[in-house]
Amino acid sequence: MLVVSACDLALASEAAAFCTPGVNIGMFCTTPLVGIGRNLQRKHAMEMALTGDMFRPPAPSASG
């Protein structure tokens, strides 16, 4: 997600999925959240940061 959030334009197939997996192994990394917070709405960025769930392309593009 860090690489995608740093791009000006991102294209993804319907099979792609995005997440911030650090929280799933007990590590909270704030570095990807800088770009994610700039590109998505705050509540969606926080959901990605705190849950570690996989998101499909329509969800992130619909939210920012």
Indicate the DSSP class of residue 8. Answer: S
Q: How far apart, in whole angstroms, are the C-alpha atoms of residue 12 and residue 59?
A: 12
Indicate the DSSP class of residue 64. Answer: -
| Band (64; pLDDT cuts 50, 70, 90) | low
Strand partners, 55: 18
pLDDT at 6 over 70: yes
Structural domain of residue 31, as residue ranges? Answer: 2-62
Alpha helical stretches, state H, the chain? 2-5, 31-39, 42-51, 58-62
pLDDT tens-digit readout, 14-61? 888 888 877 777 777 777 788 888 888 888 888 888 888 888 776 555
Task: Give the Å distances, CA to CA, from 56 to 1, 13, 24, 26, 35.
Answer: 12, 9, 18, 23, 18
* Counted domains in the chain: 1
